[in-house]
A = this chain, B = another copy of it.
Amino acid sequence: MIARPDVFPGARAAASFNLFKQHSPLIHCLTNEVVQALTANVLLALGASPAMVVEPEEAAQFSRIANGLLVNIGTLTAARGQSMLAAIDAANQAGTPWVLDPVAVGGLHYRSEFAQRLLALRPAAIRGNASEILALGGVQGGGRGVDSTADSLTALTAARQLAQTSGAIVAVTGAVDYVTNGVADWAIPGGDILMTRVVGTGCSLSAVAAAFCALPGERLDHVATACRVMSLCGERASTQAQGPGSFTPAFLDALYQLNAEAL
């Protein structure tokens, strides 16, 4: 049994959020087919700039220009895998931080092998649910597609180890999110069950994490702030929503209206 981490303080989230608003990061998103529009709209609502550039040659060129890169393997194909590898290589050369979202890793062999290969390429952060983080860390999980059947606290030990071995900040998200650098960690409560009934809220969080990784300063705090921004706006949207349909417009509005004081 591990100790439950402290709740991430609002003052730290506010400081990180102010920095985000000053920088308006440009984020290169290599993400899955299903969530592209929501991912772009979440970044735009927060004042960041998304761009999806996918042919390997220009994906590599663009990762040098962008402030951050997201790699999400939800609808991995051999061709898109080549674009991801080209973009990551260029990002690493240019010092552009990149974030890995290992969607549904564990049960599916093809993506699991690819994710292990990516893990060696020094992601700045990794964001997944408990099943995904357990699987990526080599622990047998119980994922059923993209849904997690494990609790995020259960996965925190695996997350700490993964952070230590990979050098990445690791975020395990669920009813409560945990963010760790392998030594220190934060708990981020909030959100709403309705967020699990809308496709792409987790994938979008990974894009937001990539945008926060583009900021100077303490990356553990920045990734925790990405989680807090999404969980707070999720909570606010849920109070106004009659279901997952009205949740999404309310969520994007909440992201757009968010200011540091609210954090």
Contacts and interface: CB of A to CB of B under 8 A. Distances in A.
A52 B75 contact: yes
Contacts of A38: 37
Contact of A41 (B41, B51, B79, B244): B244
Interface residues of A, number: 62
Nearest to A112: B58
A50 interface: yes
A53 B34 CA distance: 11
Contacts of A78: 55
A41 B256 contact: no
This protein's copies in its complex: 3
A111 interface: yes
A32 interface: yes
A199 B61 contact: no
A147 interface: yes
Interface in A91-113: 104, 107-111
A49 B242 contact: no
A198 interface: yes
A197 interface: yes
Contacts of A79: 77, 79
Interface string A231-263: 000000000011111101111111111000000
A157 interface: no
A33 interface: yes
Nearest to A54: B75
A35 interface: yes
A102 to B, nearest CB: 14
Nearest to A27: B145
30 contacts: A33-B33, A34-B36, A34-B37, A34-B40, A37-B38, A40-B200, A41-B199, A41-B244, A44-B198, A45-B197, A45-B243, A45-B244, A49-B145, A49-B146, A51-B145, A53-B75, A58-B108, A58-B109, A197-B256, A242-B253, A243-B252, A243-B256, A245-B249, A245-B250, A245-B252, A245-B254, A246-B249, A246-B250, A246-B252, A249-B249
Given A34-B37, A245-B249, A245-B254, 10 more contacts: A32-B52, A33-B36, A33-B54, A44-B244, A61-B108, A61-B109, A61-B110, A65-B144, A245-B250, A246-B249
Interface of A: 26, 32-38, 40-41, 44-45, 49-55, 57-58, 61-62, 65-66, 74-79, 104, 107-111, 144-147, 196-200, 241-246, 248-257
